[in-house]
Structure 1
Amino acid sequence: MDVPYDLTSYVRVLKLASTPSWEEFSRVALIAGAGVVLVGLLGFLIFVVMNFLPGAGA
């Protein structure tokens, strides 16, 4: 593990990184939020099926 080489590569990556624009940030946040809602909805539907249909759950 060459520590000076590792540190210079990390610094180079940080110099290339930039703050996203508001439009880019809001689009990513919207897509991530939609994914969270869809996963929650899927979990809720599985819960409903397992609890209210006879013989569907343990």
Structure 2
Amino acid sequence: MNIPTDLSSYIRVLKLASTPDRDEFTQISLVAGAGIMLVGLLGFVIFVIMQFLPGGV
């Protein structure tokens, strides 16, 4: 592990990073929220199916 090389790589990445503007943040939030809702819906559907199967929860 070469610490000076690793540190310079981290600094280079931080220099390239920027704060998203309002539109970009809104779009990212909507996509992340939709993903969370989709995973929750999938879990709920699996729960409901397990309720109707014999030996379910």
Structure-2 separation of matches of 1:22 and 1:56: 50
Aligned-residue identity in percent: 60
Structure-1 separation of matches of 2:4 and 2:53: 64
Correspondence 1:55 to 2:54:
yes
Distance change >3 Å, CA 54–CA 13, structure 1 → 2: closer
Task: Report the secondary structure of 1:14's partner residue.
Answer: helix
Structure 1 stretches (4+) deviating beyond 6 angstroms? none
Cα deviation, 1:11-55, whole Å, max 9, x if unaligned, reads 11111111111111110110110111111111111111111x242
Give the structure-1-normalised TM-score: 0.82
Structure 1: give runs of 5+ residues left out of the alignment: none
> In the alignment, what sits opposite 1:33?
33
The RMSD of aligned alpha carbons is 1.6
Give the structure-2-normalised TM-score: 0.84
Number of equivalent positions: 57
